[in-house]
Amino acid sequence: MATAEFGQAVRRWRDRVPPEAAGLPAGGQRRAAGLRREELALLAGVSVDYVTRLEQGRASHPSAQVVEALARALRLSGEERAHLFRLAGLVPPGPETVPAHISPSVQRLLDRLTGTPVAVYDASWTLLLANPPYAALMGDPSGWRGPERNGVWRHFVGPGSRARHTPESLRTFEAALVADLRAAAARYPADRQLRRLIAELRAGSDRFAEWWESGAVGHHEAAQKTIDHPQAGPVTLDCDVLTVTGSDLRIMVYTAEPGTEDADRLALLTALGTQRLVG
């Protein structure tokens, strides 16, 4: 159960995060230099009322997902994050579970890519953070919950994505997804959420089950992808997947060749798309 100390810690850490450090405008009248409750709620993907109740000690039993989201929004260090989990009455995630922590240094790197579509996934391809250009390009994920935030689940069971595939690229993509999930299951055998995800995929998708039983081997490569945007039409972009050594995070980055129509469309989408941080 979360204690009053949990709320006090959240408030204390909220006060030390300047809005510009979180990619938010710093203008307007402010009583403190840190984040407002509304801004923390936005960054963490929870309601303002829930943040208020947590800080006032009127809410208990925050989930591990909420604590992780708060730690990420507050840009906590590894030790601070573990402390917040303990204050919530939870065991901090250990080395045998899929890492979901975005370190402050990686966050600063992401802050420098504000005009580029970027998303951060964990080793099981569960979405941790998507910046506004990514949300504008691929669809706003702020309302996704549970398995909806997992890219493998969305591809095999859910609605899929806006990325267009040829038969060959689809086979390559699916083999890489299943191979990644198999490798993650081997690296993090104690992760019950990952085991549950794999069981749901095997039960919910014959195609995933076939890939899984075949022992698929594959890996992600830099590639051009055409995104079928509902308003802007097809946009062809370069897609790169970067892995953060030591944390097993995947950073997906979409870029366009300068001076092309695709670059112009991407710039327009970035300017007119979702104007808030989601994750």
The Cα–Cα gap between 135 and 277 comes to: 9
My answer on whether 75 and 173 are in the same domain is: no
pTM (whole model) above 0.95:
no
Q: Note the pLDDT of residue 2.
A: 63
* pLDDT over threshold 80, residue 19: no
Last residue of a domain, one of 31, 56, 87: 87
My answer on whether 35 and 120 are in the same domain is: no
Q: pLDDT-based confidence at 274, cuts 50/70/90? A: very low
The Cα–Cα gap between 43 and 228 comes to: 27
Mean pLDDT of 187-192: 90
My answer on whether 109 and 226 are in the same domain is: yes
CATH of the domain at 251: 3.30.450.180
CATH of the domain at 29: 1.10.260.40
Specify if 96 maps to a domain: no
Specify if 176 maps to a domain: yes
My answer on whether 253 and 173 are in the same domain is: yes
Mean pLDDT of the chain: 87
Specify if 163 maps to a domain: yes
How does pLDDT run across 219-245, given as a tens digit for each residue? 777 789 999 998 888 999 999 999 888
Q: Note the pLDDT of residue 279.
A: 45
My answer on whether 232 and 186 are in the same domain is: yes
Specify if 200 maps to a domain: yes
Picking from 21-25, 173-177, 183-187, 221-225, which range would have the lowest pLDDT averaged per residue?
21-25
Mean pLDDT of 93-108: 84
My answer on whether 192 and 267 are in the same domain is: yes
Range of the domain at 43: 4-87
Specify if 121 maps to a domain: yes
Q: Name the domain count of the chain.
A: 2
More confident residue, 97 or 273: 97
* pLDDT over threshold 80, residue 259: yes
Q: Which two structure tokens, joined as six digits, stand for 84?
A: 């917040």
* pLDDT over threshold 90, residue 170: yes
Specify if 260 maps to a domain: yes
My answer on whether 63 and 166 are in the same domain is: no
My answer on whether 82 and 109 are in the same domain is: no
Q: pLDDT-based confidence at 94, cuts 50/70/90? A: confident
Instruction: Answer yes or no: are the C-beta atoms of 2 and 61 closer than 8 Å.
Output: yes
Picking from 106-115, 155-164, 268-277, which range would have the lowest pLDDT averaged per residue?
268-277
Specify if 93 maps to a domain: no
Mean pLDDT of 6-21: 87
Specify if 98 maps to a domain: no
